Chain A
Amino acid sequence: MSPIMLAKALNEGLRRSLEDDPKVIIMGEDVGKLGGVFRVTDGLQKDFGEARVFDTPLAESGIIGTAVGLAIRGYRPVCEIQFDGFVYPGFDQIVSQVAKMHNRSNGQLKMPITIRIPYGGGIGAVEHHSESPEAYFAHTAGLKVVTCSNPSDAYWMIQQAIKSDDPVIFFEPKRRYWVKGEVADEPDPLHRARIARPGRDATVVAYGPMVATALESATAAEKDGHDLEVIDLRSISPIDTATVVESVKRTGRLVIVHEASVSHGVGAELAARVQEKAFYSLEAPVLRVGGFDTPYPASRLEEEWLPNVDRILDAVDRSLEY
């Protein structure tokens, strides 16, 4: 396969899932004729029909709640939430129903629901269109939470998420939708982190849209003679702690990067795990680079607010100099 854009890779992955399993259905706002506001479902309704790829009424709780019923009937729904900040009307159905139904039924009901959410900032959008709500979902038992950072993972991970008998919240890095890349012949396991760039001096963990920024930072650090290891976490819940711990045991330093506000975030969880499992390997405190504890700012401020190469390198320097 020649290099394709991340959005197209998702589209191809969805197409494969629809082909592979007649119970897979795609539902959401504007996913039909329009093909989604980011065109991730482009052409799927035309090829698979209105019973399998369909526009729903405009109500997020309804989208998730009806997906629960479809799952009880034996379907494998893929729900699209149009933007990160619009998922909250569906929050109760996700955390109280989707996440808990399998447990409530003593393992007898399965909820093979995939909830796709374009997330993160950097596209100059209005309010509610740039958020990173992954920690809310990672904090809920019963959900699995993953995010892709490149076209290959987009293609494979969306298929793995759909095949999973567990509900998966699938975060798509919306500002990387147009990034092109090759698709690998084989997928990595869904919940395994990936060393995106091996290095010796410090470990930088990122996921989703921040992986590219972390890699850029590593390239820039080379000029200063610093060899950074970059890990693409890929799975936010569960976290592949072992891969991160193994890396930190080699480098002794850890910087965690995400767009979400740092307090109570995924970085906090990862930092706690690393200090628990690699305490004597750490040469410096674990540092986090992320959004501030403010609402996502007006878009003219977002370049300053979002983690960027300079802020990541600043943290790396502080870690190295500690």
Chain B
Amino acid sequence: MSVGSDVSTALPAVPPEPDMVQLLTPEGVRVEHPDYPLDIPDDEIKALYRDLVLVRRIDTEAIALQRQGELGLWASCLGQEGAQVGAGRALRKQDMSFPTYREHGVAWCQNVDPLVLLGMFRGTNLGGWNPADNNFNLYTIVIGAQTLHAAGYAMGVVRDGAVGTGDPERDTAVLAFFGDGASSQGDVNESFVWAAADNLPIVYFCQNNQWAISAPVTTQSRVPISRRSSGFGFPGVRIDGNDVLASLAVTRKALDQARGGQGPTLIEAFTYRMNPHTTSDDPTRYRLAAETETWKLRDPIERVRAYLAREVGVEHSFFEAIDRESEAMAEHVRAGCRALPDPEPLSAFDHVHAEMTDELREQRDAFAAYLASFEEASA
């Protein structure tokens, strides 16, 4: 390189993108992939369709609740339902998942009541659920931190002898979610190091939704994120993240390999964040509406509906029934959200420690007395 050469010309062009694994085209045509055969009955595809519609309805309702002042914030997963539902449905009941704060579709697949997710966005708690209840960890807001928790959990799985036994009820994998922005975080890269060094039973599922708030993915990476894993020593694969079948098939295979003791895989689900980063964000400042319009044509739900209607001949009544169910779900979310109880002021002290300290008890008691003094005054 000559001294003083222009940096932009000195950089080689980004290598051509690898082909994405796709099993269902945006037009709803089923296609095969040699590495990822998916023998899936139509009823299962219908069930996936139901998942997708309900997840979107939950998401839409949550945005409405934010607009009505019932939620302080919501991080929408619009456009990413296919990636999330496919990955979520690939999990077995003993597998553990580690979400970011946008994996509402995975939560759905793990049977987490959407109302459980609303607490932190309404401000009634900070999450508040037990990961063991649904093998779905707490939402993690610090970007990428959960990928290390996932690696550690996988280390525990190995130590428990729950890998490679051949017992489908016992062998356990871990599914760690993160985004394109998180791929720049040290924690994510450290997690890769751990997973490779210990051949951990972990699958990394990166939803590359093209935007980290206002920063395009090119801010994070010169190469497809799926290629990041090769330097760490494990395979990476890029999938059409708006194709629920590709997500299901590729995640299923990767999880099988992880459970079998064949180590980690990185999946990059190439998708798009159709909505603002959160309800507080204004994407008109950094991206063109035309881009969003283009991605609308790749909608993860429309293609499944088209396939079911055209190729399978599913009757209209099926879709109508799901629409009715999703309206009932919306009502559940709406009414449930408003009924979420505000926390008592003193509850902030309850779970700071497993064993409360004397000094914190003293603070709490003093605050309680202070609060009580108002009640006495008004009585």
Contact = CB atoms under 8 A, between A and B. Distances in A.
Interface in A98-132: 100-110, 112
A103 B128 CA distance: 8
A213 interface: no
A73 B160 contact: yes
Contacts of B130: 105, 108-109
A288 interface: no
B142 A96 contact: yes
A59 B186 CA distance: 9
Interface string B338-360: 00000000000011111101111
B312 to A, nearest CB: 41
A286 interface: no
A75 B157 CA distance: 10
Nearest to B120: A104
A187 interface: no
B354 A73 contact: no
A64 B160 CA distance: 20
Interface stretch (B104-112, B187-195, B258-266): B187-195
Contacts of B96: 72
Interface in A162-176: 164-166
Contacts of B159: 25, 51, 75
A65 interface: yes
A59 B193 contact: yes
A270 to B, nearest CB: 12
Contacts of B140: 97
A191 interface: yes
A204 interface: no
B357 A191 contact: yes
Given A62-B193, A74-B156, A241-B359, A107 B351 contact: yes
B128 A238 contact: no
B137 A72 contact: yes
Interface stretch (B52-60, B146-154, B235-243): B146-154
Contact of B351 (A57, A103, A144): A103
B151 A69 contact: yes
Given A69-B150, A101-B138, A102-B353, A93 B145 contact: yes
11 contacts: A68-B149, A69-B155, A89-B186, A92-B145, A96-B145, A102-B353, A107-B351, A144-B353, A165-B354, A191-B357, A241-B359
B191 A70 contact: no
Contacts of B138: 101, 104-105, 109
B152 A65 contact: yes
A97 B145 contact: yes
A272 interface: no
Given A62-B148, A65-B191, A141-B352, A70 B155 contact: yes
A102 B351 CA distance: 6
A24 to B, nearest CB: 12
A166 B360 contact: no
B168 interface: no
Given A75-B159, A104-B126, A105-B138, A69 B153 contact: yes
Contacts of B127: 104-106
Nearest to A25: B159
A67 interface: yes
Contacts of B148: 61-62, 64-66, 68-69, 93
Interface-central residue, B125, B152, B358, by most chain A CB under 10 Å = B152
A67 B145 CA distance: 12
Interface string A150-170: 000000000000001110000
Contacts of B197: 57
Contacts of B153: 69-70, 72-73
B20 to A, nearest CB: 30
A130 to B, nearest CB: 25
A110 B152 contact: no
Report, nearest first, the 3 A-B pairs whose CB atoms are least far apart: A69-B152, A65-B148, A73-B156
B345 to A, nearest CB: 15
B131 interface: yes
A67 B149 CA distance: 7
A208 interface: no
A267 interface: no
Interface in B118-132: 125-132
A103 B126 contact: yes
Contacts of B126: 100, 103-104, 106
Interface-central residue, A73, A102, A107, by most chain B CB under 10 Å = A73
B152 A73 contact: yes
B203 to A, nearest CB: 14
Contact of A75 (B131, B151, B156): B156
Contacts of A97: 140, 142, 145, 149
Given A59-B193, A108-B129, A69 B354 contact: no
Given A70-B156, A97-B140, 19 more contacts: A56-B194, A61-B187, A61-B190, A62-B190, A62-B193, A64-B148, A65-B145, A65-B152, A69-B148, A69-B149, A70-B153, A72-B149, A97-B145, A101-B138, A102-B353, A102-B354, A104-B128, A105-B351, A112-B354
A142 interface: yes
B129 A105 contact: yes
A141 B156 CA distance: 27
Interface in A17-70: 25, 51, 56-57, 59, 61-62, 64-70
Contacts of A67: 152
A239 interface: yes
A18 B191 CA distance: 26
B190 A239 contact: no
B145 A106 contact: no
